[in-house]
Chains A and B, each alone.
Chain A
Amino acid sequence: MTAVAEHAARRSWVPVCAVSDLVTGGGVAALLPDDAQAAVFRTVAGEVFALSNVDPFCGAAVLSRGILGDTGGVEFVASPMLKQRFDLRTGECLDAEGVRVPAYPVRVVGDVVQVGVP
């Protein structure tokens, strides 16, 4: 909690939607300042994560439309384009070593989902 608080001081939080706008077990895309895009996911267990929406393998902004899953306890989203999996917490690609997408911090304030941008 303290780590988040520290970082929070240095970033701005963009409100993107109400919790009820999220899809349980799936993702939505959110437009961020400077034309950046986040894919915001809500797992079946109710946890919320945000990654960059852009699939680093094809350059298309599609990760929010991927299927969520887990492997050996790691929760991931599989890109709908060519099915590479990305760790929801870190953005790390599970199928290609050394590849990752930016992971954004997210928080829920009241009913509002907020994505932290640098």
Chain B
Amino acid sequence: MSRTLVVVGHGMVGHRLVEAVRAEDTGGTWRVVVLAEEARPAYDRVALSSYVDSWDAASLVLPNADYVGDDAVELRLGDPVTAVDTDRKVVTTASGHRQPYDALVLATGSRPFVPPVPGHDLPGCFVYRTIEDLDGIRAAAEHAAAVRGRAAGMVVGGGLLGLEAAKALRDLGLSPHVVELAPRLLPLQVDEGGGSLLRRLVSALDVTVHTGTGTERIDRDGERLLARLGNGTELDVDLVVFSAGVRPRDELARAAGLAVAERGGVLVDDACRASAPDVYAVGECAAVEGRCYGLIAPGYAMAEVVAARLLDRPATFPGADMSTKLKLLGVDVASFGDAHGTTEGALEVVVNDAVAGTYKKLVVSDNARTLLGGVLVGDASDYNLLRPLVGRTLPGEPGAILAPAGGADSAGGGVGVEALPDDAQICSCNAVTKGAITGAVRDEGCDSVPALKSCTGAGTGCGSCVPMLGKLLDLCGVEQSTAVCEHFPRSRAELFEIVRATRISTFSELIARYGSGSGCAVCKPAVASILATLGNGHILDGEQATLQDTNDRFLANLQRNGTYSVVPRIPGGEITPDKLMVIAQVAKDFGLYTKITGGQRIDLFGATVDQLPRIWRRLVDAGMESGHAYGKALRTVKSCVGSTWCRYGVQDSVGLAIELELRYRGLRSPHKIKAGVSGCARECAEARGKDFGVIATEKGWNLYVGGNGGAMPRHAQLLVSDVDKETLVRTIDRFLMFYVRTADRLQRTAPWIEELDGGLDHLRAVIVDDSLGICADLDEAMARHVAGYTDEWRGVLEDPDKLTRFASFVNAPGTPDPTISFRVEREQKVPVTLGMPEVVRR
């Protein structure tokens, strides 16, 4: 007979506990009953702020948190436990359900602390802990924006969560104020020097910071709230978010007579055992040997300890590393070890670079040899290397280690990954040491970052250690091939530079001089794209035609039955009724299936090769041109209707989208490029899902880069804000040209930026601050592209030689392909799916 394990609370830690028990309980010892207060299964609370990006709760789902298909787990949602009887070993829920247990785990987390200021419970006051909290904040923000235009919000608390909340408010289009009682932001993580830089960086992002003052009272003033601060300031805001710390939810334990810690929390020993038999506590509600932990990693460690104990294996809580590295409002902040230098005799070495906007402090032992901790603000790229060194001998002078990058070691400063001892943790998310990684390289033949990920698990969490994995591979002498394919031992970026420098204009010459063999379906289109970017005439000129994928070769998109689709360019999605009528007439005359695409234009499907020129003749005559739906090139610049019509619009998004689409049309690139322009922060054009996205502000435009839909969706990140149109266009010019030159084959901008050494900051340095001195060159290349643009389809129609390629059969040019047939579905023709032919097997 199996025994019953009751888990109270289904947060991230409760879920991890269930997972751990289920993974290891091969003998079926435990039946698990989870009693949860929230109405949805555990979700990724750590990533709660990202909910603001999509407002899609599905993005926070934790894998298998509903235990569907696992009969040993019963999950009862929306029915909180109200009492625990440790004598009878039974708990009672709000609905009156009585649940006996053999073992009980409290995983009730914590609740936000709301300081008891008068007015703290007025409508318009929120906390920041659950999906529902954020939904409430959103509704209030939208209501305020609708009645007030630019609304304002106040965040009480300038810690990690407070700054996250401020960012959420900003993303919601509010002007945030942050009020912090301590003299600086992030008082627990950073010291004074780091705090003042942080304040400067955050203020530059439109967040008003009030430090060293409390909130005295909040009053309702019509639709708004009036907050009076301790220093006399009055803030007129639309909503208030309290984020002033958390308190462990130990109320059940108190009522049940379990011991609690002095400052709250269910008191447990280092095996997470509470003061009654068979009762445990894990996560934020637990005070392990008197101490509560407000981070997820210690909570997970506790869950593993209890799971082991329940299965009769010894385990104790190992203590926790409270180091943190985060990006708050786009500002890197990291603190690790003894960040405040409280160790006896500790020395501090500080490099405070006001110009670069970076602050770095190392805390070292009295003989300056052992690293004790540190604080990094503005640039935290050394964090992954420094954190594992805490408690160890430094590989060099502390000052030299903090010196700005530029020396021989690319890792920045003076620490390299080679300086780390084997037991140093490289991946803190998954607790993987340097030794484990180098071991996997040597003994298990891992020869690439993906191989290391699947073999060791390193790099599969937050991803911040991925660059170190690459460096460790280098260190082990593993060459990570960047070759395009077996014919070219070079990366795409290298080939690009070769073609640019040598002015080689044909594939044959390039492969003869820099490659081997005759090429393949990988290198031919890649080289064709490079040749096209560098302006080597029409993409079907001479030999180039045979390098192209079929889509480029026929300037149309191949469909499953061998026919093609036709997509005329509709810049910004704006189109006249007359042009719509031309498209409609063409579709009717050629019997084409029509559909509005996801890219705000119209796709005509089912054209045969020989019909393509005739279709395009009609479209070109009516003033339309290729939409490059077939090319690795600029696709669309989507727009919202913008200030011309929309009552919220602050700029002409359609006008800008059209201008950008016409500017970059025809630009050949490593992968397709998509863009969007929205007329205000409501973002109806989904610009942040695009390779580059522009969002209008009252003062100008914000430019976001590196967004992606597809299988790995990414939101674009802010590159520059409130710039005028000229600056905007110049920045996009450089962004695209730099991408086109340096990205890998079939690499969209999102992974490209991620793989750039230094990421977005490096990108910004190169194209905004011209750190490599190449901006003039990039500008000139784009100017050449813009001046040299011609419509590819017109080019075909004007060249009889190219036209002859659009024949169904060389010996019967007008005869339709007999394998193609259509049927009718919803009043339009669609391909008859070719019954899967017998694959000829010998």
Contact = CB atoms under 8 A, between A and B. Distances in A.
A107 interface: no
Interface string B812-827: 1001011110000000
B810 A80 contact: no
A44 B543 CA distance: 10
B745 to A, nearest CB: 14
Interface string A45-78: 1000000001011111110011111111001101
B546 A25 contact: yes
A75 B550 contact: no
Given A23-B545, A66-B550, A71-B520, A17 B562 contact: no
A68 B546 contact: yes
A62 B554 CA distance: 12
Interface size class of A (residues with CB under 8 A): 35 or more
A104 B380 CA distance: 64
Nearest to B609: A65
Contact of A43 (B518, B554, B834): B518
Contact of A57 (B546, B549, B554, B839): B839
Interface residues of B, number: 44
A35 interface: yes
A96 to B, nearest CB: 8
A69 B521 contact: yes
B836 A31 contact: no
B309 to A, nearest CB: 51
Nearest to A82: B560
B809 interface: yes
A116 to B, nearest CB: 15
Given A81-B558, A102-B840, A21 B810 contact: yes
B545 A98 contact: no
B54 interface: no
Contacts of B524: 67, 69
B842 A58 contact: no
Interface string A23-42: 11110111100010100100
A99 B841 contact: yes
- Interface residues of B, dominant DSSP: loop
Given A24-B546, A80-B558, A44 B839 contact: no
A62 B820 CA distance: 11
A99 B840 CA distance: 6
Given A56-B839, A69-B519, A69-B524, A62 B550 contact: yes
A61 B817 contact: yes
B837 A54 contact: yes
Contacts of B842: 98, 100
B203 interface: no
Contacts of B820: 61
B521 A66 contact: yes
Interface string B790-811: 0000000000000001011111
Interface string B543-568: 10111111001100010111000000
B519 A70 contact: yes
B533 to A, nearest CB: 19
Interface string A86-107: 0000000000101111100000
A117 interface: no
Nearest to B524: A67
Contacts of B837: 54, 56, 59
B572 interface: no
A22 B545 CA distance: 13
B550 A80 contact: yes
Nearest to A65: B550
Given A56-B837, A60-B560, A60-B561, A69 B808 contact: no
B563 to A, nearest CB: 9
Contacts of B521: 66-67, 69, 78, 83, 85
Contacts of A75: 518
5 smallest beta-carbon distances between A and B, as pairs? A69-B520, A59-B834, A80-B550, A60-B562, A78-B521
8 contacts: A15-B811, A29-B817, A30-B810, A56-B839, A59-B835, A69-B524, A71-B517, A72-B486
Interface of A: 15-17, 21-26, 28-31, 35, 37, 40, 43-45, 54, 56-62, 65-72, 75-76, 78, 80-81, 83, 85, 96, 98-102
Interface of B: 486-487, 508, 517-521, 524-525, 543, 545-550, 553-554, 558, 560-562, 805, 807-812, 815, 817-820, 834-842
Given A16-B811, A66-B521, 16 more contacts: A23-B546, A26-B545, A28-B810, A29-B809, A37-B817, A56-B840, A61-B820, A62-B558, A65-B554, A67-B546, A67-B549, A69-B524, A75-B518, A81-B558, A100-B840, A101-B840
